[in-house]
Amino acid sequence: MDIIKIIGVGLTALTIIIILKQYKPEFTVYVSIIAGVIILAMLMDKLAAVVNLLTNLTNKSGTGSSFLKIILKITGIAILTEFAVSICKDSGETAIANKIDLGGKIIIITISIPIVTSLLELIINILP
């Protein structure tokens, strides 16, 4: 099961971080980043399967791929933002983490404007 592998990587990284804090605390951030990248790499095939499923559903519905591209961009931004925020918080930089979080939210809002606009136009067309 994949979750056992992910937990194994996480617990191994945690053990290394606990040991490193005693001798070289400046290297703990690197271990955290490497563990995060390894976990994300382990999840790439699962993410690819979800993208393929969404692509097939979009093709069957005939709505076009523009909305799917926007949704995938939003999801990617959310994942990357959360990853960066977690690293900053692990490093004790909560202020920077909050700014990255805010930036990610603002970018997500700006990217989602075409979807919101399309939904509002659809509602206006349905109403008499």
pLDDT in tens, 14-60: 999 999 989 988 888 899 889 989 998 998 888 888 888 888 888 88
What is the 8-class DSSP label of residue 10? H
Asked if residue 117 is part of any domain, the answer here is yes
Asked if residue 53 is part of any domain, the answer here is no
Asked if residue 32 is part of any domain, the answer here is no
pLDDT of residue 64: 67
Asked if residue 42 is part of any domain, the answer here is no
| Chain centroid, CA 51 distance in Å | 14
Asked if residue 26 is part of any domain, the answer here is no
Ramachandran sector of residue 24 (left: φ over 0; alpha: ψ -120 to 50; beta: rest): beta
Number of structural domains, the chain?
1
Range of the domain at 79: 63-128
**What would the pLDDT profile of 82-111 be if each residue is shown by its tens digit?**
989 988 888 888 999 999 999 999 999 999
| Nearest of 38, 39, 18, 37 to residue 27 by alpha carbon | 18
DSSP string of 44-72, one letter each residue: HHHHHHHHHHHHHHHHHHTS-SHHHHHHH
Angle between helices 66-90 and 113-126 in degrees, nearest 10: 140
pLDDT beyond 80 at 63: no
Q: Could you tell me the two tokens for 70? A: 């926007």
Asked if residue 89 is part of any domain, the answer here is yes
pLDDT beyond 80 at 69: yes
Asked if residue 88 is part of any domain, the answer here is yes
pLDDT of residue 112: 93
| Nearest of 53, 66, 58, 100 to residue 80 by alpha carbon | 100
Per-residue pLDDT averaged across 52-79, rounded?
84
Asked if residue 105 is part of any domain, the answer here is yes
